[in-house]
Structure 1
Amino acid sequence: MSTLKHEFDFTILSRGERVQDSRGERQHVVPRRAFQGLIECEVENSDGLILRRIRDATSANVHHLSPPPPKSDNNFLLQCNERFFSSMSVCEFVPTEPKIRLECWKMQQRSLEMLCQSIGISLVAPPTPTMTSEGFLIPDCYHGDITHANRRYGRWVLKQISTIVNDGVCFK
């Protein structure tokens, strides 16, 4: 939904924002609340089912690792067209605008935060050094595909996990 450009151009707007389309083309507007609701539903029906089962299975503290932020470089995405997307019946692989990917990822983060808080699980945010000031994944942490981060990112996550364990947060 946030990776491939849709057959119609759209933007996500919050209350008070205006559509800015310098190309003079018609752009479809999706209210942020509607998009957030869609993402909340997806998070609940995927992560929610699994996390609730884990939470119910143990009295231990549970931590959920946040997915890495999106990549901002569309040229990189075009070069790394994953087999998954090329096997779809998509005539042409065109990534969405980076702004849309980032907004969707932020909505996913909010949904995960609400979900985790509601079931007593800690959400571990992406490591700050792996993100640009805008919130994208830094290029040094890109893996050679569209969505994943690399080992450098993984090392930062392992440092976070080590801090959680060493601080005794994992033990009651």
Structure 2
Amino acid sequence: MALKSSKTCYGRMAVLMHWFVAIAILVLIPLGFRMSATTDMVLKAGLLKAHAAIGLMVFAITIARIVWWWFADRKPEDLPGTPKLQSRVAHLTHTALNLIILVMAISGIRMMVLINNGLGGSDQMFGPMKAHGVAAFLLIMMLTFHVAAALYHQFILKDKLFARIGIGRMPAV
């Protein structure tokens, strides 16, 4: 697999960034819910440190992904025969996922700043907490849609979509 993407599949850099972010988010979501649900302040502090560290890595890699796509690489072409509406929905979904990740990261950073400045219990905390919670809900919805679409392509349409993002082999052309 080449470093950069081809017309048919994503390159090594895009694949690595995609799967790192995907796995990290699958860790962040339950970590965030567990952190929110616990009343044990020692546990909450430990979970918060882990959640914040992983979240900052996801933020940095998401920024790197955006920069990568703008300046260094081009995404593969749509699969042959993809209807225009489906293509538009896929592109909007990917854009929405990146925007939601950015909102989550920025609101999380804002909460950490408020906490570190002794304002964790203040009214100022409500805005970032609300944004983070709404974004978490939207992220879960969008991820569910994204994964369902990928599974539909792979197992119903059998178009080897997973191979484009590093799982399996692309069919010979």
Same fold (TM over 0.5): no
Larger proportion of helix: 2
Larger proportion of strand: 1
| Bigger relative contact order (CA 8 A; separation at least 6) | 1
Q: TM-score, normalising length from structure 1?
A: 0.30
